[in-house]
Structure 1
Amino acid sequence: MRIKHLFLLFFGIVTTLAHAQDDELDVRVQDTVVATTGTILDYDPLAPSKAAFYSAVLPGLGQAYNRKYWKIPIVYAGIGTGIYFWIQQDQEYDRFRNAFKRRLAGFTDDEFFGDGETPLVSNDRLIDAQRQAQKNKDISLIVAVAFYLINIVDANVDAHLRQYNINDDLSLTPQLQIDPVSTQASYGLSLRFNFGQR
């Protein structure tokens, strides 16, 4: 029984606060959207396309267009990391491949052969190392391309959300009503969606 009373008390407080906030938010802004910076901007339907195009041309430029400058180092760190590891693995692949090709030509002077008659690294290990380096190159390239694509999608979505219309056309209001005859509480949620012009 105590849980029911606590729930009704909580629901009543939430309902009261929701109605108090609804009264405070009664001011509507028409044909304008309040951006996250707190300034009122005219709605630009091409802003997401511009941001995506800018990011496609030069990674990070769409984030600068959206004034999210803190995201630019993240974009370049992701793309740069993928490119760095691709270059590193490409050099490793060339090392293993050149040593293997020299062994096939009959030379015993590669860096993996050592000083003695028997090689330190076998031919099979050189083949496996080439395959592993190629696989790592592919993964590094995928990471760089993924960060590039995420950069474009992020700029587009951020431009959409920057212009997101926040008004009370859509509201979810908890309601608590007490029946005067039976003194039983009835509670529920109402969803209101207005299709009127902005």
Structure 2
Amino acid sequence: MSFKSFIFIIGCCLSLQQLVGQNGVDVKVQQSQIAPVYNPLSPSKAAFYSAIFPGGGQIYNKKYWKAPIVWAAIGASVYYYLDNSNEYDRFRTAFRLRQQGLPDEFNGLNGNPNISTAGLENAQKVLRKNRDLSLLTGVLLYVLQIVEASVNAHLLQFDTSDNLSVRPSLATDPMLIEAPKVGLTLKYSF
């Protein structure tokens, strides 16, 4: 059996099930089965709270355990940015003093420098690159936590209870005496 014929048979069975299933039976929905009301402003509120205060959207979504992770991630990038910036300033100041012929903090005993001028230049390049990467990482983490709070607020509104199910079953038609007919029934409840 080819894939197209399989899809055709399933489509026919579903259409037949819809036709047979429309026999005028009223469906009563219990109050406990009604899904919660969709709040379209919830994701935007979560994103707004995360933008104002990092981790605020996670707290708004009642995912309290995520807020310390956000704080630690952004705090680490801020720490590395400040550390690399301070080290860059140290090496930059020493390089400028050495260019003017003045003693700097990296001069050793008897005028022999601990770090060469080329080493000071290289350290400045590496520290500037690390500082810029720390800044970029912090900005990306900030944006990522806003997006995460918004997406989580969207996903919290989906009904994921056990009442959602699809149960396929084979059913025979007892009214036909000549030859039994078999059909496919898909029962879904929510």
Q: Is 1:133 matched with 2:137? A: no
Residue number among 29, 32, 55 corresponding to 2:33 in the alignment: 29
Stretches (4+) displaced over 6 A: 167-170, 174-177, 190-194
SS of aligned partner of 2:127: helix
Q: CA deviation at 1:166?
A: 3.5
Q: Is 1:89 matched with 2:84? A: yes
CA distance change for structure 1 residues 139 and 176 in 2, over 3 Å: closer, same or farther? farther
The answer on whether the counterparts of 1:173 and 1:191 sit within 8 Å (CA) in structure 2 is yes
Q: Is 1:118 matched with 2:112? A: yes
CA distance change for structure 1 residues 172 and 113 in 2, over 3 Å: closer, same or farther? farther
Higher radius of gyration, 1 or 2:
2
Question: Percent identity over the alignment?
Answer: 47
TM (norm. structure 2) is: 0.68
Q: Identify unmatched segments of 5+ residues in structure 1.
A: 1-25, 34-41, 178-189
| Deviation digits for residues 93-116 of structure 1 (CA, Å, limit 9, x no counterpart) | 001000000011111x21112112
SS of aligned partner of 2:141: helix
- Aligned partner of 2:155 in structure 1 is 161
Residue number among 61, 65, 74 corresponding to 1:70 in the alignment: 65
Superposition RMSD in Å: 3.0
The answer on whether the counterparts of 1:51 and 1:63 sit within 8 Å (CA) in structure 2 is yes
- Aligned partner of 1:48 in structure 2 is 43
SS of aligned partner of 2:110: coil
Corresponding letter in the other structure for 1:29: Q
Q: CA deviation at 1:64?
A: 1.1
- Aligned partner of 1:145 in structure 2 is 139
Give the Cα separation in 2 of the matches to 1:192 and 1:89: 62
Give the Cα separation in 2 of the matches to 1:157 and 1:105: 56
Corresponding letter in the other structure for 1:144: G
Give the Cα separation in 2 of the matches to 1:123 and 1:191: 78
Matched residue pairs, number? 149
CA distance change for structure 1 residues 78 and 43 in 2, over 3 Å: closer, same or farther? same
Q: CA deviation at 1:117?
A: 2.9
SS of aligned partner of 1:116: helix
CA distance change for structure 1 residues 85 and 191 in 2, over 3 Å: closer, same or farther? farther
CA distance change for structure 1 residues 43 and 114 in 2, over 3 Å: closer, same or farther? same
CA distance change for structure 1 residues 129 and 45 in 2, over 3 Å: closer, same or farther? same
Q: CA deviation at 1:118?
A: 2.7
| Deviation digits for residues 15-63 of structure 1 (CA, Å, limit 9, x no counterpart) | xxxxxxxxxxx97833x33xxxxxxxx3211111111111111111111
Give the Cα separation in 2 of the matches to 1:125 and 1:191: 74
TM (norm. structure 1) is: 0.65
Give the Cα separation in 1 of the matches to 2:186 and 2:91: 66
Give the Cα separation in 2 of the matches to 1:87 and 1:44: 41
